[in-house]
Structure 1
Amino acid sequence: MSTSTQSLTAPTAEAFLERFFSSALATAELMSAYLGDRLGWYADLAAHPASTADQLARRTGTNARYAREWLEMQSAYGILEADTASAPVTFTLPAGPAEVLLNHTSLAYLGALPRMFAASFRHLPELLDAYRHGGGVSWARLGADARESQSALNRPWFDTRLAPALARVADLHRPLGRPGARVLDVGCGGGWSTIALARAYPGATFVGIDPDAESVVMAKANAAALAVTDQTTFVTADGTTAPAHGPFDLAFAFECLHDMSDPVSVLSAIRESLAPGGRLVVMDEAVSYEFDGPANELDRFMYAASLFVCLPDGMSSDTPSAGTGTVLRPSTLTRYADRAGFGEPRVLPIEDFSFFRFYELIPR
């Protein structure tokens, strides 16, 4: 994804019309990909090149007329290749789109991304009410599409890049590699961050905490599948319970702080759970340092995630919410860290790690 800033100021009516229509096409493309993902059409085409609509429908247990319309749309958008010389027409999923849509181990994988927007759009009436009166829609309400999307999108980065990235930071590699080290993973979701670290550091034990019970179920199943249950414990709990599971030599909060209704209380609890010399690493979106109107693609995407998913989740709490949102700027994190008893966050020298920036927080 490009992070260049484009001029979005004062477009003419004709220019905005063209851009807005392109946005409509992109939205339709994204949601058609959701159908291909959830109905198993992409996976089936990857396994059976040159398929007709009837063949695809029969193998996937779906309706042939809808399958044909989807296949033709995918070809019209340039995702599938259509052999119009054959009778009936056959369709093939090329290697490039297949990697992005289906390869869960590839850093290019985005196949689960449409699920996040589908999860939100399913709750548009509730979101409209929240936008008018306050409140929000919780992660639990967003359901399987949202939790599975986030878990699947982060997994290839955690699997292949997380341990090597941390190994290059001596202050993190050293405690992780110490025999008997205890490590906390707050907001662990589907557990892929915890599992990746457990596999890389077999002498350490890890506690993953997440308030979403279904995510914890996923994490336990994933840990069992990769044989790291002896090193990992997953708990359904709020981050404020961290001291009850400590002390920890190191703590992590991967892409979750901006979702929390009371991030300062969670940061304070993590600080209390740390053993002497312990530190916290926060991984969050690598957005611009300040708001300045027209923004790069990353900031624009994060505002979309914030408006439709993360901010409503953080605002859904029964108690007053910090209302952080996905666009967590370094100045905001610095303010939260100071109130929680940490020194000024230090940006770690970890680059080109998806959309993320890593911060080190050390107790004062």
Structure 2
Amino acid sequence: MSTITDSPAVEVTQQVSGPSAEEFVDRLMGSALGWAEVNAIHLGDRLGWYRDLADQGPSTHEELAARTNTSSRYAREWLEQQALTGILVADGEIDARDRRYALAPGPREALTDEHSLAYFAPFARMAGAVGPQLPALLEAYRAGTGVSWARFGADAREGQAEMNRPWLAQLPHVFAQVPQVQAALTRPGARIADVGAGGGWSSIALAGAHEGLQADGFDVDEPSVALARSNAREAGVSDRVRFHLADGDSIVSHGRYDAVFAFECIHDMPRPVDVLRAMREAVADDGVVVVMDERVGDGFDRPGELDALFYAFSLFVCLPDGMSHAPSAATGTVMRAGTLRDYALAAGFDGVSVLPIEGFGLWRFYELTF
């Protein structure tokens, strides 16, 4: 509560409610345990321990270490921690050398099934990418500069691509429920542009579902473009899906498109208005422009249930990446609908509407109208 008097010397008193020190420390203890759990998941994922347990079944620490060519002592410590926290199931009170550990069906799906919507292991990999960049982030926070996406390396790049992959595979089914988008995708000889394509899974999913559809994906991160091209070859669609190392605002040089998409990338861009303007110029007169971005609350006073997670992404990755280029809009992950609307209007669109797609993970779909 703030009180401001009318006296010449304005006196301001504040009463701030909140948790006690003990309550706050309890909260931080839970956060510390969560930090440890996510990092332990990162170890188990990257060392191949989860997949080995999923494939081989209940194992001792020595068996797991031998099969994965890792240290048995570290394997024992990790297995005990995983069992203590309920991720693994252990035999019980027997000698540690003979104790066997198993991966239950729920954690198995979340940690090893790359096609499941519950797949979580890539999130831990992304989180692991932040640690080495903390000194650079501190300097960026002091100087008002940034830390580019490229500096976070393969763990961030590949982790995000794999985390989004199961969801992007659902795009054909989702868009089949939106008549104007489905009409654009199913035109004979349809062409789409995928701005900020990353690992390419969005283009690959749409091309795989629509025979004859041609897709051009664009990204500024060279390793991501290489990854997307490899993924397209493995999926058997590289004859119809091409990826370009280019800014999003260069798409106009590739002709007109029946649909232009930007999946979870506008908030990262230093020049979102320029990119949206290029998307407007590149779409056919009877085409559609769709942006998928984080499902944030309408305002700071009305936060969405996921806003705390989105602010975490913004603090450590998205805002520093956006500010690594100058000039920058410095949007950050928490791009509210009003902000996107302002960008779209400045880019020449008439308006923005939310598409009737519910329950799609962390994201919301917008149609930019013209």
> What is the TM-score of this pair, normalised by structure 1?
0.94
Instruction: Provide Cα deviations, 1:204-255, integer angstroms capped at 9, x if missing partner.
Output: 2110001111111111111111111121111111101110112111100000
Structure 1 contact 117–308 (Cα < 8 Å) conserved? no
For residues 90-169 of structure 1, the aligned pairs below 5 Å read 90-159=100-169, 161-169=170-178
Q: 1:169 to 1:55 in 2, by over 3 A?
A: same
Q: Which residue of 1 aligns with 2:335?
A: 328
Q: Which has the higher contact order (CA 8 A, sep 6+)?
A: 1
Structure 1 contact 202–231 (Cα < 8 Å) conserved? no
- What SS does structure 1 have at the residue aligned with 2:121? coil
Runs of 4+ that moved beyond 6 A: none
Instruction: Specify every segment of 5 or more residues in structure 1 that has no aligned partner in the other structure, as ranges.
Output: 1-7
Q: Which residue of 2 aligns with 1:38?
A: 46
Inter-partner Cα distance in structure 2 for 1:357 and 1:124? 30
Q: Which residue of 1 aligns with 2:262?
A: 253
Inter-partner Cα distance in structure 2 for 1:47 and 1:252? 38
Structure 2 contact 117–167 (Cα < 8 Å) conserved? yes
Inter-partner Cα distance in structure 2 for 1:345 and 1:72? 51
Inter-partner Cα distance in structure 1 for 2:124 and 2:39? 6
Inter-partner Cα distance in structure 2 for 1:118 and 1:234? 28
Inter-partner Cα distance in structure 1 for 2:344 and 2:352? 7
For residues 224-263 of structure 1, the aligned pairs below 5 Å read 224-263=233-272
For residues 337-352 of structure 1, the aligned pairs below 5 Å read 337-352=344-359
Inter-partner Cα distance in structure 2 for 1:40 and 1:296? 35
Q: CA deviation at 1:84?
A: 2.8
> What is the TM-score of this pair, normalised by structure 2?
0.93
Q: Which residue of 2 aligns with 1:277?
A: 286
Letter in 2 for 1:57: A
Inter-partner Cα distance in structure 1 for 2:211 and 2:251? 22
- What SS does structure 1 have at the residue aligned with 2:110? helix
Larger Rg: 2
Equivalent residue pairs, number: 353
Structure 2 contact 207–240 (Cα < 8 Å) conserved? yes
Q: Does 1:74 align with 2:117?
A: no
For residues 302-313 of structure 1, the aligned pairs below 5 Å read 302-313=310-321
Inter-partner Cα distance in structure 1 for 2:249 and 2:336? 22
Q: Which residue of 2 aligns with 1:359?
A: 366
Q: Which residue of 1 aligns with 2:276?
A: 267
Q: Which residue of 2 aligns with 1:4?
A: none
- What SS does structure 2 have at the residue aligned with 1:258? helix
Structure 1 contact 281–359 (Cα < 8 Å) conserved? yes
Pairwise CA RMSD of aligned residues? 1.4
Q: CA deviation at 1:85?
A: 4.4
Q: 1:115 to 1:297 in 2, by over 3 A?
A: farther
Percent identical pairs in the alignment equals 53
Higher mean C-alpha deviation, range 78-87 or range 32-41: 78-87
Inter-partner Cα distance in structure 1 for 2:182 and 2:288? 12
- What SS does structure 2 have at the residue aligned with 1:304? helix
- What SS does structure 1 have at the residue aligned with 2:203? helix
Instruction: Provide Cα deviations, 1:138-188, integer angstroms capped at 9, x if missing partner.
Output: 1111110011111111111111x2111111111111111001111000001
Inter-partner Cα distance in structure 1 for 2:21 and 2:255? 59
Q: CA deviation at 1:279?
A: 2.5
Inter-partner Cα distance in structure 2 for 1:96 and 1:139? 32
Higher mean C-alpha deviation, range 9-18 or range 190-199: 9-18
- What SS does structure 1 have at the residue aligned with 2:206? helix
Q: Which residue of 1 aligns with 2:6?
A: none
- What SS does structure 1 have at the residue aligned with 2:330? coil
Q: CA deviation at 1:270?
A: 1.2
Letter in 1 for 2:144: G
Structure 2 contact 298–304 (Cα < 8 Å) conserved? no
Q: 1:9 to 1:324 in 2, by over 3 A?
A: farther
